[in-house]
Structure 1
């Protein structure tokens, strides 16, 4: 029997379990900022092209530094962000993943994403991760080291942007890095384009690139090497654009990687499976997929996830979000035509969800234990930094993309945003969002079972 598009969508919706879970409080325990316009010099042996980044974010090449103002885009009100492209050097922006394990000096491994948002506009954006140390007393984040990904051994199975160079540094035209884990002296990175898993050493040297396999079949996206336009959604590729690995958790004890897609995958009809995300298990010791997978159900209004990290051997945190940006208090009135002083799509669903990976129902859905609401954070001690808090009400984290969460200790987690420099705001209209790191006291969430 052939189902219509609407019937397939209805069946998929019915296959997604209803969500009823506890909501736990969150209290601000620290607030630190890495300024939006934070730049790093490319390596000495990188191509000269990498010294000016963001040259291809417009309709044509532009090599005049700081000449084109960043803008959030028409959907989000068309507000300028106060920071212009191209940049001299490489932007540190785009915090898109925390590793669970820390560096020997106690700093956190933090990943930067592909640069400016797509393969087309990011061929001069180098790919790298960092060691960072937030200082919540000083309200600052120290970038201690930046490690650039490079492929001198030609492990990447397709032509890279800097193919003809000796150093072969990777760029945002090659991969979109969104999740990071460090296991011993090995780095594992989840990519959105392939989607691929990238294995590297702690110097950033690529050791292997792994294709994604689900139910015995290789998954591809519109940005996978070898998928050419015209391509039919669901038949030629199953992973939505910008729907690859957004979160990849490392399970303590078993040392398995749990790789979660950002968006629902596509059926052959072109419709999505439903309002849930696939999670595939990979065994680094064997260098292969285990064949196991499960499903994470999104709550109502959520469209994607931002990060995924275990807090012990069985429970893990997942950031889920909508596509909104900015506080609801500054949302545009219905039917407003002047959007210069308001947010047409304010942030509403920004949750950190606790799941139990040992509790999976007969349909493959992992149990959601509960969540905290990042749009409702108590700040009784006034720890929010000046200029970065609402005029009244609770502290909020009203960013489009919130892509970093990690357990700090038995009662605290740390969360950070991807500021999409220079294309996202959220905290203040007309101003680019900073990279904000918040320390949250959430003892009830972390002790829930």
Structure 2
């Protein structure tokens, strides 16, 4: 039987405070890596433009492959990453979501994001999702298939970058896909620019596009196609840039999508409405919004979420993070001017939070049951791969964008990072982060009620 969010909210009097929770231990049980520079050829019928990607990531067009080294940016120390743009082919990077349901062969559906971080610089980055199989014994990740998104039936309600082509493949100038769920023959994708929910087939062909409705109002962002500069925050758009659907959980019993915005919604004054995120219900049976929503409270220091997946009919996992990158042991000294060998904004808040969606307080907040700290992972058996192990102390996952989490079994979860190739480090100063998949033993967290 389907329980609406309003019925669930009747349990408010029994709900604990939104931030009351316990921190549980996590132990590294597996570690696998997809190399940072992993590329895939575009489909044969894609425009030739897609053969070289990342041509528009600088101040001017650059057609010379592998000619400009990536950099983490001044705020993060100005470190080079060792890999140069443009790329020959399409980067597999950008692991931005795990689907709860696996493919028939047991592999995981994994989503890649818009390419290089914005609409402006990603017009030659194709959009796709994969079937991937991490092998934690071998420490490797097999990419079994890549499915490219396309719009041959003209379902997208605006002009796409490859509008004049027969194949009509979608690019990062059209959408920023950040979360994925697979239900039967439908692939549901939460994206950030609209923000929209996309429905596609397992072949990647778009079936429908759904604008976001909250409290009877359509939510827009600075990147929505109908929003034009000059635009007033809070009036012309309510969703912050890069603040759309970073996480979108699929309830295994009801088929309901719980779409969570990455950042707080803006009020009419243009300021965030609070230190919490909206979670909006979408019914896959009717392909429409239900009109119901709840809130997820961010802990102190957290600025966004990375992924959101149910583990049973009511409990779900949420990745909660700050904007930091790099291990705290390599942080820059306070006031340092030379940041070439340190992290000026090290990672401090990287949590996997277990929430109870059946327990909602009178203000609409889902209850946080407990969490694990991704910056404090035990590794007594030395499971971490050579070259990724800390010199001392616990194993950490200190990446700017950690965007994938899913339950594997009754005691394990799997987590992965979006490495933003070639713009993020996090593991080693001066080196691009790889796509790391970690298997965590967390029986206490998964059993918590």
Fold equivalence (TM over 0.5): yes
Q: Aligned partners of 2:339 and 2:81: how far apart in 1? A: 14
Hey, what does 1:11 align to over in structure 2?
Answer: none
Hey, what does 1:341 align to over in structure 2?
Answer: 341
SS of 1:306 mapped into structure 2: strand
Q: Aligned partners of 1:18 and 1:198: how far apart in 2? A: 31
CA displacement 1:333-385 (0-9 Å, x = unmatched) = 00101100000000000000000000000000000000000000000000000
Q: How does the TM-score come out when normalised to structure 1?
A: 0.96
Hey, what does 2:97 align to over in structure 1?
Answer: 97
Hey, what does 2:47 align to over in structure 1?
Answer: 47
SS of 2:329 mapped into structure 1: helix
Hey, what does 2:416 align to over in structure 1?
Answer: 416
Q: How does the TM-score come out when normalised to structure 2?
A: 0.96
Hey, what does 1:183 align to over in structure 2?
Answer: 183
SS of 1:395 mapped into structure 2: coil
Q: Are residue 276 (structure 1) and residue 276 (structure 2) matched?
A: yes
Residue correspondence of structure 1 range 74-85 to structure 2 within 5 A: 74-85=74-85
SS of 2:104 mapped into structure 1: coil
Residue correspondence of structure 1 range 57-72 to structure 2 within 5 A: 57-72=57-72
Hey, what does 1:436 align to over in structure 2?
Answer: 436
Hey, what does 2:206 align to over in structure 1?
Answer: 206
Q: Aligned partners of 1:425 and 1:175: how far apart in 2? A: 25
Deviation at 1:60, TM superposition (A): 0.6
- Is there any run of 5+ residues in structure 1 with no aligned partner, and where? 1-16
Q: Aligned partners of 1:297 and 1:64: how far apart in 2? A: 46
Q: Aligned partners of 2:372 and 2:292: how far apart in 1? A: 28
CA displacement 1:252-294 (0-9 Å, x = unmatched) = 1101000000000000001111100000000011111011100
Pairs aligned (count): 433
Q: Aligned partners of 1:209 and 1:121: how far apart in 2? A: 23
Hey, what does 1:367 align to over in structure 2?
Answer: 367
- Is there any run of 5+ residues in structure 2 with no aligned partner, and where? 1-16
Deviation at 1:19, TM superposition (A): 2.2
Deviation at 1:18, TM superposition (A): 6.6
Q: Aligned partners of 1:286 and 1:161: how far apart in 2? A: 30
Q: Aligned partners of 2:108 and 2:188: how far apart in 1? A: 15
Deviation at 1:441, TM superposition (A): 0.2
Q: Aligned partners of 1:405 and 1:283: how far apart in 2? A: 22
Hey, what does 1:113 align to over in structure 2?
Answer: 113
Structure 1 residue runs of 4 or more that deviate by more than 4 Å after TM superposition? none
SS of 1:31 mapped into structure 2: strand
Hey, what does 1:448 align to over in structure 2?
Answer: 448
Hey, what does 2:25 align to over in structure 1?
Answer: 25
Deviation at 1:189, TM superposition (A): 0.1
Q: Aligned partners of 2:377 and 2:103: how far apart in 1? A: 29
Q: Are residue 233 (structure 1) and residue 267 (structure 2) matched?
A: no
Q: Aligned partners of 1:203 and 1:344: how far apart in 2? A: 43
